Amino acid sequence: MWVGVFLAVSFVYFLAGTHAYTYLRDLPIMPFRNSARVKVLGLALYGPLAASTRHRLSQYVPGLAALGIDVDVMPLLNDDYIRRRFSSGQIGFQYVARGLISRAAHLSRQHHYDCAWVQGEVIPMAPAILETAFMRLPYAYDFDDAYYQKYRSGRIGALEPLLGRKFERVIGKAAAVFPGNENLRAYASQFNDRITVVPTVVDHIRYSLRQPHRDDRALNVGWIGSPSSIRFLKVLAGPLATLAQEAPVRLSVVGGVAPDIKGVEVLNIPWSEDTEVAAISEFDVGVMPLVDEPWTRGKCAFKLIQYMACGVPVIGSPVGANCDVVTPECGYLAETVEDWLTALRAIRDDPRRAEAMGLSGRERVARLYSLESQLPVIAAGLLAIAKGHD
């Protein structure tokens, strides 16, 4: 199947991009500016429905504009593609074809910009030699997942020798690299030394504080995510079932459909950007269970950051960035069933301590994982690239 995907993508991109490539190949790399403002071409993999686009690129746009940096965020795959993948699991080749044609148009306008900001991947299923050939601007490579693992999993069969080391070249040629955590930084540092860790952050000002737990209601254990990550909730099935034998427990799942757990009230809440903060602020504890594997070690603990921004105490598996985000002052790391039970009971049985942990977590987010704290970092990185381009 993946050979067919690769051939289809290559053919469509060839048709869409041959003219653009000829044009770009012969184009002097000169900025096209009408003022002293810096112009940045933001190349996102997905539309604004994707958290990676919203939180790694789009949310910075207003703040950067105030600093004289104008970013145009151009997605490859739009929100219709994302809705189709989540609803049916199908790729939707018509959306891919349209996206590749749009991406060719984005790349053909590079001469209007001073630098590029690439999030994830410019052209999925395209080898590094093609992707980097089309990049005529110096670029910052931004990634918040272990994208390099997706071409090494064995799923693409005969294409793995061609694509398996793609990100080594893409990262190596970047003018700057913005990995989302220390695990990703360690990978990128093998190929580039111009690295600044930029965690995936929230605008914590828009996150309202939770109300303290009331003794007369079920302990509300909350999780937010996407259908692709709902599988990790299986880690909690045993601990929550045991806990429910002691006192009422509710599992609130935002953005997916939870498995049935004996004795536990399960509440499935549709995700929307407008209501996610209100849903999180109802949690008594926010959880991020993970299975320790190469892909999860690259995750940026964003769920935990969202919970903490609302003043919710947290429990997470000790995997990847979870270990960096969670401290004893704001939550627990839980590996075994007994670890999870101990942490859940501690939050249930000591509401005052849970409230203090939540407030500590919110302060930690404001200091380290907020839009306000990372905006100057992104601005400095983009300005350095643009200055080198002048």
Q: What CATH number is associated with residue 362?
A: 3.40.50.2000
Half-sphere exposure of 376 (CA within 13 A, CB side): 4
Query: Do 41 and 174 share a domain, yes or no?
Result: yes
- Least trusted range by pLDDT, from 90-94, 130-134, 327-331: 90-94
pLDDT averaged over every residue in the chain: 88
The per-residue DSSP string of 351-365 comes to HHHHHHHHHHHHHHH
Mean pLDDT calculated for residue range 240-265: 95
Percentage of residues in the chain having pLDDT higher than 70: 86
pTM of the predicted model over 0.85: yes
Q: In the structure, what pLDDT confidence band is assigned to residue 26 with cuts at 50, 70 and 90?
A: very low
Q: What is the reported pLDDT for 215?
A: 61
Residue 218 sits in the same domain as residue 143:
no
Domain co-membership, 240 together with 140 = no
Note whether 221 and 245 are same-domain residues.
yes
Co-location of 224 and 362 in the same domain: yes
Instruction: Please state the rounded mean pLDDT for residues 303-325.
Output: 97
Give the other-Cβ count within 10 Å of 101's Cβ. Answer: 15
User: Of the segments 68-77, 118-127, 206-215, which one has the largest average pLDDT value?
Assistant: 68-77
The single-letter code of the amino acid at 356 is A
Nearest CA-CA partner of 312 in 229, 213, 206: 213
Residue 225: closest CA among 185, 263, 269? 269
The CA distance from 355 to 353, in Å, is: 5
**Could you report the per-residue pLDDT of 83-131, keeping only the tens digit for each?**
766 665 556 677 778 888 999 999 999 999 999 999 999 998 889 898 8
pLDDT of residue 266: 96
Place of tokens 């490539």: 21
CA-based nearest residue to 206, from 151, 146, 276, 303: 276
DSSP code per residue over 218-229? -EEEEEE--GGG
Q: How many domains does the chain have?
A: 2
On whether both 43 and 192 belong to a single domain, the answer is yes
> Are 162 and 210 found together in one domain?
no
pLDDT of residue 145: 93
Whether 72 and 181 map to the same domain: the answer is: yes
Are residues 219 and 139 located together in one domain of the fold? no
Burial of 257 by CB count in 10 Å (0-12 exposed, 13-18 middle, 19+ buried)? Answer: exposed
Question: In terms of domains, do 148 and 21 share one?
Answer: yes
**With the C-alpha atoms ordered 366, 58, 109, 193, is the resulting torsion angle positive or negative?**
positive
In whole angstroms, how far apart are CA 371 and each of 23, 179, 182?
38, 16, 19
For the cut 60, the answer to whether the pLDDT of residue 276 exceeds it is yes
Beta strand pairing status for 139-143 and 115-119?
parallel
Spatial distance between the Cα atoms of 90 and 92, rounded to a whole number of angstroms: 6
Paired with 71 in beta bridges are 40
Cα 343 from Cα 327, distance rounded (Å) = 13
* Domain extent at residue 177: 2-200+371-389
**18 and 164 inside one domain:** yes
Q: Do both 222 and 340 map to the same domain? A: yes
